[in-house]
Amino acid sequence: MDDPQRYLDPLILAKVRSLELQARLIVEGYLSGMHKSPYHGFSVEFAQHREYVPGDDIKHVDWKVYGRTGRFYLKQYDVETNVVCWLVLDISESMQYRSGSVSKYDYACMVAAALAYLILNQQDSVGLVTFDEEIRKFLRPSSQPSYLKQLIQVMNVGAAREKTRLAPIFHDLAERIGRRALVIILSDLFDDVPELLAGLKHLRHKRHEVVVFHILDEAELDFPFQQATLFRGLEQYPELLTDPRSLRQGYLDEVQAYLLELQRGCRGQNIDYVRLRTDADLGIALSSYLAHRLARSTT
């Protein structure tokens, strides 16, 4: 039975609720919200004057300016529009891995639920995409608070048993998402780094803002194994029985090289890269990132 509260930890939500998820890019939206639009209209906040031309509605004439200058000028206003945010959730088999009490998939879902709650709470729109080797669900954005329950129901389906194919997914989304948006990716990013970076570049080329939450299990980062261990392959990889002590340093070197390549590639494309460990306090990690983001957007 679906539980709408499953991924809504009140302690996490309490830490992030007061923070606004603000896009750094100026975005076009379709509802009245809190974010500036590059398009001028006649509502909300004064921006500038422009000279009257025949056919303009005279109700927007600034009569005080006319009194001073004897010329007709119209008031123009910035339309405030809402951010459109897409949560892109990896449901491939590797996301099921857990060395502790929480799998990477469950952790990613808690991140997604907290962000969806926050976005809807500030009257912005959120949509959800789930994927493994192909897109499985494509829920278009809504700003209705009741939409959260539908998102949670999709997350409750759980991770799949398919492989990850990140680059084709990102290329597909870059073409499928029409309006400029904030695209938040939640994945362990187990794929060829140059190819997935090319997919992310396609999203940036379409003028989307991209945030990557890299979800990793603590054992994947620390490799704490000491005794002979049978490693069970995920995503169609075979099992391997080995002495982990002989592999540890080589493994850690490879992981660090992979993380560095990924982080540099994201930063080179002006993509926010946020690494999250499944043993970390999600409320602290998430609120820290959002506070940093908010401070950056207001400077």
Residues 34-53 pLDDT 10s: 445 544 444 445 556 777 77
Q: At what angle do helices 166-176 and 193-205 cross, to 10 degrees?
A: 10
pLDDT attached to residue 65: 82
What are residue 123's phi and psi, to 5 degrees? 65, 30
Residues 20 and 40 in one domain: no
Residues 244 and 210 in one domain: yes
Residues 72 and 146 in one domain: no
Residues 52 and 92 in one domain: no
Q: 273 and 267 in contact (C-beta within 8 Å)?
A: yes
Residues 55 and 110 in one domain: no
Supply the pTM of this predicted model.
0.73
Residues 62 and 77 in one domain: yes
Could you list the residue range(s) of the whole structural domain that residue 47 is in?
A: 32-81
Residues 54 and 156 in one domain: no
What value, to the nearest 5°, has the Cα angle with vertex 134 and ends 129 and 140? 25
Question: CATH number, domain at 191?
Answer: 3.40.50.410
Residues 57 and 165 in one domain: no
What number of H helices and E strands is found in the chain?
A: 9, 11
177 CB-contact burial (10 Å; exposed 0-12 / middle 13-18 / buried 19+): buried
Q: Which two tokens stand for residue 78?
A: 């910035």
Residues 181 and 171 in one domain: yes
Residues 56 and 179 in one domain: no
Which residue is listed with tokens 């759980």? Answer: 158
Residues 196 and 94 in one domain: yes
Inform me whether the pLDDT recorded for 212 exceeds 60: yes
Using DSSP bridges, classify how beta strands 125-131 and 45-51 pair: parallel, antiparallel or unpaired: unpaired
Query: Alpha carbon of 226 to those of 222, 230, 231, 247, 252: distances in Å?
Result: 12, 12, 13, 10, 14
pLDDT tens digit sequence for 256-286: 899 999 999 999 999 999 999 999 988 888 8
Q: Quote the number of domains for the chain.
A: 2
Using DSSP bridges, classify how beta strands 240-242 and 229-231 pair: parallel, antiparallel or unpaired: antiparallel
| 5 inside domain | no
pLDDT attached to residue 39: 45
Query: Alpha carbon of 271 to those of 75, 218, 258: distances in Å?
Result: 37, 24, 17
Residues 235 and 103 in one domain: yes
pLDDT attached to residue 137: 94
